[in-house]
Structure 1
Amino acid sequence: MRSPDEGLQKQQATQQFSGVQILRFAAAILVVVMHITQAISIHISGTGPTHYWADGSAGVDIFFVISGFVMAMSTSALPSSGAARAAAAWVFMRRRLLRIAPLYWFYTLLKVALLLAVPTLASRASVEPGHLMASLLFIPAVSPWGLVLPTLPVGWTLNFEMLFYAVFAAAIALGAPRIRFCLLVFLLVFLAGRYVPNSVVLGFYAQSIVFEFILGVCIAYAFLNFRRPSPGVGLIVAAIGVAFMFVPDWGHSMDRFTTWGCGAALIVLGSVWLEPWTLRAPLSSRLSFLGDASYSIYLSHTFVVPAGVLALKKLGVQDNLLIVLAVGLAVVVAGCISYVWLERPMTTFFKRALSRTPGPSTKLQESKT
């Protein structure tokens, strides 16, 4: 049932969702724990890099669904005229680049500096100029160690994010229905990757995980256009999503979209419906801050995790649970410091530097998105 109150719809489109922010933090922690268990296998137990808690990778699927939801919500009230749409699309893409690129570039170049200074830090990583440039430009490329990964390996998710942002911006500029346009483009990319097997870029993007962004856009559409159930229903839906993602043993041959992707969509949908309860929770604001810091946590943990595990090994710590807890806490602290002292000031600086003389239409859209 479509809401007749357009003013309410605009208010809903710009509101902050504490539950979604908290979910960002939870998704980041899933990835962190996965990499801690991998580091334990490499440095403590000696079982090798393939023995770890692989289900932590599901945090990425939650990130992608959240990204689709947030992008759709934040742009739902954009203007419909042609010239204004083009300006809005530019502002959208610029804001996404300013949000994602500077911190990613910083940690990528930090890794390059560390590899050049101490090559023994990473046994299977090296620096090759062409690959480094592709990494900085969010272009999938074969790494010097043979995998389609950027210089900072966790950046593979950002390549998908940038594809989604570009397609979504095109939908805004053309005034096309967001869900149908993104679905059509992703289907074309998916099929092209199947019929052009020698293309590294198309082969990378021709994965079902790319459709998880559309699940998030669908959740935003449902939130804005249909009556929402009680928070209790949201709790049940989120619980079903968690069980669907983590209880079955999906195995390595699973399709991420139909398993972790759909489970992530249920979790995000449930957290959105849970929002009235989340806002009243005692620690909601503090946990929301951790959600704000989730991007810094995600990027910086690739440095903190191996350093923390090796430090505990030298101290003689062998208990896996204790290592996970101690290193996980160190990751959160380091990520919060990165957010407060690096990410936030860096983003503010670049926003000011690039927004000193905006045109009138750019100013208008900057305030709305």
Structure 2
Amino acid sequence: MSSDGGLQRQQATQQFTGVQILRFAAAMLVVVMHITQAISIHVSGTGPTRYWTDGSAGVDIFFVISGFVMAMSTSALPSDAAARMGAAWIFMRRRLLRIAPLYWFYTLLKVALLLALPTLASRASVEPGHLTASLLFIPAVSPWGLVLPTLPVGWTLNFEMLFYAIFAAAIALGAPRIRFCLLIFLLIYTAGRYIPGSVVLDFYAQTIVFEFILGICVAYAFLRLRHVSPGVGLIVMVIGVAFMFVPDWGRSADRFATWGCGAALVVLGSLWLEPWTSRAPLASRLSFLGDASYSIYLSHTFVVPAGVLALKKMGMQDSLAIVLAVGMAVVVAGCISYVWLERPMTAFFKRAFFKNPGLSYQGTGK
């Protein structure tokens, strides 16, 4: 769920406005889900399991987008082995620089708050080994008994980092990226099913990992069917959204087959809809919110509980009003985080680790 401000085609200057907007929409789906959960806990008193669970589908949209962006942004790669190794190393460094600093900042902020004000959190314990695993993107059992990092929303980043590592290996080996990533994911999935007792394997042995492959497939389909009419794109998007949210899939439904496939249709449809989207009113402002989606995703875990509790103390009981008010606060806080924290932090690390312009190659994207 990382921020890739400047989702790019082979032409490095062109953005996919529709995909940028989708990234914002995906982040807000997760935000609304967590707001309804906070309302259920703190306002209505119905408990932590009674909330709008379909908002979790925003993660599936993110994963498909991630696969798409990685495939598109590495479409032009060198052919000789040494250059491929360099390209893979650059790719991995760029991914780390985009994800890790902001995630580490909010993880350590969470630790500081837990240590300073432990009574404000139900999950208030910090264990050094678990914190280290969290910072290194390694799945581990938390002090509260779940396989979640210190900053719980970071579970998605564990999947992202696995995908990036496998994708970088495909670049280094010059292997076909769909087949290589699919093979490794299948091996991990099978190992997790037949090798018991491994927290890491058990965590990764979920069908959600194959949604990155869907994203790569979307990229290849778009490159081959680039000139499909926007009207068809709109229809495909509507079908994808309906497939994701109209049926009551329930917790037993396979996530890849339901939300994952629906998300792939939504992303592909948005690409074909691009000629209309890019000319739509407010397109640039919504694209900016897509840039800020990573900050929104990470920072909302602080804003949501604080906002819901503050509104409760003010006497607000209407759930819809709380969702709208806290959702707006999350967007504002995320944009501030993006402008004043994420963007300067990213620029600093890029200057520090990419001083030599010769260390770049065409098509890497951001």
Q: Which one-letter code corresponds to 1:122 in the other structure? A: A
Offset of 1:64 from its aligned partner? 0.1
Relative distance call for 1:52 and 1:367 in structure 2 (3 A) is closer
Matching residue's letter, 1:57: S
**Superposition deviation, residue 196 in structure 1:** 1.0
Q: Does residue 273 in structure 1 map to residue 280 in structure 2?
A: no
User: 1:20 maps to what in 2?
Assistant: 19
Of the three residues 344, 360, 364, the one matched with 1:363 is 360
**1:253 & 1:367 partners in 2: Cα distance?**
38
Which residue number corresponds to residue 3 of structure 2? none
2:347 is the counterpart of 1:348: yes
Shift, 1:355, TM fit? 2.0
SS in 2 for 1:326: helix
In the other structure, the counterpart of 1:172 is 171
Mapping for residues 106-145 of structure 1, pairs under 5 Å: 106-145=105-144
Q: Deviations over 1:116-160 (max 9, x none)?
A: 001111112310000000000000000000000000000000000
Separation in 2 of the partners of 1:138 and 1:221?
29
Match of 2:56 in 1: 57
Structure 2 counterpart of 1:162? 161
Distance 1:367 1:70 in 2: 10
Structure 2 residue aligned with 1:334: 333
How far residue 228 of structure 1 moved from its aligned partner, in angstroms, is 3.2
1:363 Cα deviation from its structure 2 partner = 3.4
What do residues 233-270 of structure 1 show as CA deviations (whole Å, max 9, x unaligned)? 00000000000000000001111000000000000010
Deviation at 1:224, TM superposition (A): 1.6
Give the superposition deviation at 1:14.
6.2
* Residues 103 and 343 in structure 1, CA contact (< 8 A), matched pair in contact too: yes
Classify 1:345/1:297 alpha carbon distance in 2 versus 1 (closer, same or farther; 3 Å). same
Tell me how far 1:365 sits from its aligned partner: 5.3
Please say if 1:234 is aligned against 2:233: yes
The one-letter code sitting in structure 2 at the alignment partner of 1:94 is R
Partner Cα distance (1:359, 1:345) in 2:
20
In the alignment, is the contact (CA less than 8 A) between 2:17 and 2:287 conserved in 1? yes
For the residues of structure 2 that align with 1:239 and 1:227, how far apart are their CA atoms? 19
Q: Deviations over 1:151-174 (max 9, x none)?
A: 000000000000000000000000
Moved more, 316-325 or 13-22: 13-22
- CA shift, 1:308, in A, is 0.2
Q: Is the 8 A contact 2:78 2:84 kept in 1?
A: yes
CA contact (8 A) 1:39 1:49 kept: yes
Tell me if structure 2 keeps the 8 A contact 1:14–1:74: no
Give the whole-Å Cα distance in 2 for the aligned partners of 1:368 and 1:34.
31
Distance in 2 (CA, whole Å) between partners of 1:359 and 1:325 is 45
Q: Which residue of 1 aligns with 2:145?
A: 146
Instruction: State the alpha-carbon separation in 2 of the partners of residues 20 and 159 from structure 1.
Output: 22
* Aligned equivalent of 1:195: 194
TM-score norm. by structure 2 comes to 0.95
Give the Cα separation in 2 of the matches to 1:23 and 1:367.
Answer: 21
Q: 1:322 to 1:229 in 2, by over 3 A?
A: same
Task: Give the AA of the match of 1:10.
Answer: Q
Give yes or no for contact 2:10–2:73 (8 Å, CA) kept in 1: no
Q: 1: distance between equivalents of 2:146 and 2:20?
A: 32
Contact 1:230–1:273 at 8 Å: present in 2 too? yes
Match of 1:301 in 2: 300
Residue 368 of structure 1 and its aligned partner are, at CA, apart by 6.3
Higher mean alpha-carbon deviation, 33-42 vs 346-355, is at 346-355
Query: How far, CA to CA, are the matches of 2:305 and 2:128 in structure 1?
Result: 25
Q: What's the CA shift for 1:354?
A: 1.4
**Contact conserved, 2:73 with 2:363, CA < 8 A, in 1?**
no
* Matching residue's letter, 1:251: G
> 1:10 maps to what in 2?
10
Structure 2: where are the runs of 5+ without partners? Answer: 1-8
Q: CA deviation at 1:227?
A: 4.7
Relative to structure 1, the CA distance from residue 364 to residue 64 in structure 2 (aligned partners, 3 Å threshold; closer, same or farther) is closer
CA distance in 2, matches of 1:246, 1:267: 12
Which amino acid letter does the alignment assign opposite residue 96 of structure 1? R
**Superposed displacement of residue 43, structure 1:** 0.3
Distance 2:114 2:132 in 1: 16
Q: CA RMSD in A?
A: 1.4
Q: Secondary structure of 2:278's partner?
A: helix
Pair 232,344 (structure 1): closer, same or farther in 2 beyond 3 Å: same
Structure 1: runs of 5 or more not aligned: 1-8
Structure with the largest fraction of helix = 1
- TM-score normalised by L of structure 1: 0.95
Query: 1 CA distance for matches of 2:27 and 2:310?
Result: 22
Change (3 A) 1:367 1:163: closer
How far does residue 10 in structure 1 lie from its aligned partner after superposition?
3.4
Preserved contact between residue 90 and residue 360 of structure 2 (Cα < 8 Å): no
Show the counterpart of 1:5. none
